[in-house]
Structure 1
Amino acid sequence: MSPSVSTSALFVFTAVLCTDICSQYHFGNDRDPLHQKYSYFSESERLRMKEASRDMFQFGYDGYMRNAFPEDELDPIHCRGRGPDYDNPDNININDVLGDYSLTLVESLSTLAVMGNSSEFKRAVKLVTEYVAFDRNSTVQVFEANIRMLGSLLSAHLIIIDPRQRLGDMSVPDYHDDLLELAHDLASRLLPAFSNTPTGIPYPRVSLTEGVPRNCLNETCTSGAGTLVLEFGVLSRLLKDPVYEAVARRAVTSLWQLRSNVTGLLGNVVNIQTGEWTGTMSGLGAGIDSFFEYLLKAYILFGESSDLKMFNESYESIKFHLRRG
């Protein structure tokens, strides 16, 4: 797919190919009684669960907007907003995720659209353009900032400019690619993570104002480095600037070339300077899972045969070596 591909094509390409591709893989077990019981919803049950899901989302969203906005998230115990822990920079459980950029509001944009709440979607977009900025003294994890902030901004942008408006009227008056500009700004602040790494595998964290911290680790997990190509790829195509997709794909290729010559498996933690696995445990759990997820999704979205080839080879290696019992 060329960099000039239309945004409409980007928006629908996943849906067009997903059924065809995913039908090649059978993940369920028809003999499992739980699978038989829960793999099918009657129409009445589907509608009931649909409304229950809508109510659950609205409850959480309203609670955040009432008690926490414009901070990143709602602290449910104290019923107040929460952002980065500036007093304790080593508190990475909080600081990796929260960047002082109204995270929950941004993450909610596409869900508001999918739920059909056009009026609140449009209001939320306006709030994002008014409150969200990235000139913050925050050090965030590249992986989290990418999948949660960058992905959310790009998704909402594509929903707004979709000429067919498949989710209802989600067009925003006086919208001038504001979310795309925010996404561009954020991605540019993440780019320093790819500098000064001979392997092309990025540092795990960046300061949004100063680049890679002086004390940043030279190690990252496989997911952290290999789960960037969807968002960076879409951004490159929208901007017609290949840099973002190029650095993300280089990281994936570097990780792939480090796989075991014996098993075909990847480790879960790698030294970004030497390319040595410092975490040699392979599997499908945290720290490695989304690397495989993004290989398949990248093929579905962009149509690059190399992504599908890597996924298929990984899938076969995992099936062969997976410990059972």
Structure 2
Amino acid sequence: MKCYGILLIVFISFIIHQTTSSYLDCLTTTTESLQECLNSSFSSFSLQEVLESRNDARKMFQFGYDSYMKHAYPHDELNPIHCTGRGHDYTDEDNININDVLGDYMLTLVDSLDTLAILGNNSEFKRAVNLVVENLSFNYGHQVQIFEVTIRMIGGLLSAHLLIIDSNEPFGDLKPDFYDNELLYLAHDLASRLLPAFDGTHTGIPYPRVNLLKGTHQNVCRHCINETCSAGAATLLLEFGTLSALLNDPVYHSTSLRAVNSLYNYRSNSTGLLGNVINIQTGKWTGSMSGIGAGLDSVYEYLLKSSILFGDGQQYKMFQDIYSKIQTFLRKGREKCNSGNGFHPIHVNVDMNDGNIMNNWFDSLSAAWPGVQVLYGDVEEAICSHLMYYAVWKKHSFLPERYNWHLNQPEVTFYPLRPEFVESTYLLYRATKSPFYLHVGREILQDIEKYSKAECGYATIHDVHDKTLEDRMESFFLSETCKYLFLLFDLDNPLHRDGEPYIFTTEGHILPLKYPFREKLANLYDKDQHNYMNTHMPGKCHKMGSKGNLPVQMKYLQQVLADVGVTY
């Protein structure tokens, strides 16, 4: 079996089992029958439940999107409590929490374009494209973060463009009558404004920020410092490579590829691990923590995904190398997920130089790691990694931004509606077909609806303890969180049909593998310059058991729930 059949989320129709009991009913059972009851309830999910959950996910997206269009557009984000829009903070240019992301470029609308297509709202997709084409401009002297503007804006524009020009129309007719590659031109315009961030760095790793009109000089970009997180250096390749292929211009791909290769070459000589913050001029690590969460998560993701999308064997070997080092130095716990004794496996944060544990927490971004493991074909390990995040979600109804696994309590208590745990849940369901993940997805859906819904959208959870809210709905809620929830329950979506393979960017934008990215990029280089085309990627897929079974033995599920403090 070809692993990248799983990797590319290409699956055919499957059986949905009828529900025999709800896991909530198990609360009234005796201790002796609890295990049997839980196993029975988690191992079934009726077609009616699937359809109801799909409808709930659709309504969630629609309420958030409609609220943004009514109360916030053309601003970047929606304030869902006060029903107002949010854009660049002109009163405090040092407010990088806002200004790194918001540049007065209709962020939420652009970020949501392909979600509209995936949900089948073709008329609104065309209307939204028209609004973008007529009104979007980057002629503002804003300082923005390279990473955020690339994955949200360039990724959103390119994904929508590729959907429009697909002559097979897997999602139906998405092409507006007027369309003449305007989204591609906008992506090109924006990317060209980011290129100065790569100038004047001795390593080829870009500055973390750039002024969209004036570049990176300190006089016009006060936060264009010489330090960047690893993810900021290595999470541009899918979008920049796609742009190069569409434009027949190698500069974007080669520039981002140089940054990735440079970062990899600065890995520790003793452990082979990457740190989380690097000096772009000297290549010295100023942050030596190595983990699978913030600052590093999408580095691993893009090494693997670029090897799939572009057929780059070098990127695949780099991913394999780093993956093995992560499993050696960061993974703690029993050796096997579904057998043996010992505490539940977990990935910890270590010092890149010696592999010693640096702290006792993981962050919510690390919940994307099980999804990366699925893409790699290491499904059993993905199942195990996912269970820890599920247990924390089960206890708090959300994933806190940072969780202390030693004390079993949140350290940073907010939850901004992040998609990483939802994404991994979706990918694990596509890989295993275990109804357990449908139950998990429904819990996520119900918790967000119950606690996060505000007057005009869905608000950030300020504190997972008391469920107080913050007045912000980030664009990734519509671009990713709602998208993955809908896809989890939309069994017949074109994304799931054989012969229509796509890959998700780190912002949840879809890129079609049938587009000849490999050929186009290979033609831009000399044959000896890059290792493209016909790259064979050996798989690690493990055959799963019966679709109706839990993904792990019940005793291991009960163990991790008990360890975190979940009681029935």
Residue of 158, 163, 182 corresponding to 1:159: 163
Corresponding residue number in structure 1 for 2:244: 236
8 A contact 1:153–1:179 mirrored in 2: yes
Long gaps (5+) in structure 1: 1-15, 24-30
Deviation digits for residues 145-203 of structure 1 (CA, Å, limit 9, x no counterpart): 00000000000000000010111111211200000000000000000000000100000
The residue aligned with 1:19 is: 5
Distance 1:237 1:37, change over 3 A: farther
RMSD, matched Cα? 2.1
Report how far residue 47 of structure 1 moved: 2.0
Match of 2:188 in 1: 184
Among residues 254, 264, 270, which one is paired with 1:246 in the alignment? 254
Structure 2 matches for 1:250-289, cutoff 5 A?
Answer: 250-289=258-297
SS in 2 for 1:298: helix
1:142 counterpart = 2:142: no
CA distance in 1, matches of 2:99, 2:45: 40
Partner of 1:67: 71
Letter in 2 for 1:180: L
SS of the aligned residue for 2:299 comes to helix
Which residue, out of 75, 78, 82, partners 2:82?
A: 78
Deviates more, 1:49-58 or 1:201-210: 49-58
Deviations 1:218-251 (A, max 9, x none): 0000001100000000000000000000000000
Separation (CA, whole Å) in 1 of partners of 2:241 and 2:40: 38
**Which residue of the partner structure matches residue 195 of structure 1?**
199
Matched, 1:313 2:321: yes
Deviation, 1:79, is: 1.3
Shift of the 50–91 alpha-carbon distance from structure 1 to 2, 3 Å rule, reads same
More relative contact order in 1 or in 2 (CA 8 Å, sep 6+)?
2
- Alpha carbons 1:17, 1:300 under 8 Å: kept: no
User: For 1:318, what is the secondary structure of its paired residue?
Assistant: helix
Q: Which TM-score applies when normalising by structure 1?
A: 0.89
**Higher helix share goes to which structure?**
1
Of the candidates 135, 158, 165, which is equivalent to residue 131 of structure 1?
135
User: What is the deviation of 1:44?
Assistant: 2.8
1:104-137 deviations in Å (ceiling 9; x for gaps): 0001100000000000000000000111111112
Q: Structure 1 counterpart of 2:157, which letter?
A: L
Superposition TM-score, scaled by structure 2 size: 0.51
Change (3 A) 1:94 1:242: same
- Percent sequence identity is 59
Q: Secondary structure at the match of 1:291?
A: helix
CA offsets per residue over residues 249-295 of structure 1, 9 Å max, x none? Answer: 00000000000111110000000000000000001010110000011
Judging changes above 3 Å, is the alpha-carbon distance between structure 1 residues 39 and 158 closer, same or farther for their aligned structure 2 residues?
A: farther
Distance change >3 Å, CA 34–CA 22, structure 1 → 2: farther
Taking the aligned partners of 2:39 and 2:188, their CA distance within structure 1 comes to: 43
Tell me the amino acid that sits aligned with residue 231 of structure 1. E
Counterpart code for 2:320:
N
Is the alpha carbon distance of 1:321 and 1:270 closer, same or farther for their aligned partners in structure 2, counting shifts above 3 Å? same
Aligned to 1:8: none
Opposite residue 19 of structure 1, the aligned amino acid is G
Give the equivalent residue in structure 2 for 1:171: 175
In structure 2, relative to structure 1, the CA distance for the partners of 1:316 and 1:17 (3 Å cut) is: closer
- Tell me, in whole angstroms, the C-alpha distance in 1 between the residues paired with 2:312 and 2:176: 33
User: Which residue of 1 is the match for residue 107 of structure 2?
Assistant: 103
Q: How many residues are matched?
A: 302
Query: In the TM superposition, what is the alpha-carbon distance from 1:78 to its structure 2 partner?
Result: 2.0
Structure 2 distance, partners of 1:119, 1:22, is 28
Query: CA offsets, 1:63-113, max 9 Å, x none?
Result: 000000001011123210110101111100000000100000001100000
- The answer to whether the 8 Å contact 1:154/1:179 transfers is yes
Q: Any conservation in 2 of the 1:296–1:308 contact (CA below 8 Å)?
A: yes
